[in-house]
Amino acid sequence: DQQVKQNSPSLSVQEGRISILNCDYTNSMFDYFLWYKKYPAEGPTFLISISSIKDKNEDGRFTVFLNKSAKHLSLHIVPSQPGDSAVYFCAVNRDDKIIFGKGTRLHILP
């Protein structure tokens, strides 16, 4: 049973534009959310996190938005750069376990 859903397997965005990656979750008790980026043949790299007491967290080009009523979070990357091409995983804390969504492959087009 998928508790963290990333419904877009892939996304293509023009370099310099905004990339928006989406994630839905099923349990309103989840209270800590993370985004990871993964290149082939490397481990996932932590990007940004947010706790449920906030609705926005920003770190440089990366901003995560949390909509608790919709059980939805999104990652905004502005401006998108070629090095952002990777697989992005949404993750949640469930009972002290970090559980990952299936990922979205982001392609940044020149």
Q: Convert 40-59 to b/e letters by CB count within 10 Å (16 or more is b).
A: eeeebeebbbbeeeeeeeee
Q: Is 41 in the site for another protein (CB under 8 A)?
A: yes
Residues 77-97: b if buried by 16+ CB within 10 A, e if exposed: beebeeebbbbbbbbbbbeee
Say whether residue 44 binds another protein (CB under 8 A).
Answer: yes
Given the complex with another protein, which of 4 and 13 has the nearer CB atom?
Answer: 4
Q: If we measure between CA atoms, which residue out of 38, 110, 31 comes closest to residue 73?
A: 31
Kindly indicate which of the ranges 17-25, 54-62, 78-86, 89-97 contains the residues binding another protein, using the contact rule CB under 8 A.
89-97
Q: What CA–CA distance (Å, rounded) separates 94 from 87?
A: 22
Which window, 11-19, 66-74, 76-84, 88-96, contacts another protein (CB under 8 A)?
Answer: 88-96
- Quick check: 96 binds another protein (CB under 8 A)? yes
Name which of residues 51 to 80 contact another protein (CB under 8 A).
51
Using CB under 8 A as the criterion, which residues of the chain lie in contact with another protein when the complex forms?
32, 34, 41-46, 49, 51, 89, 93, 95-103
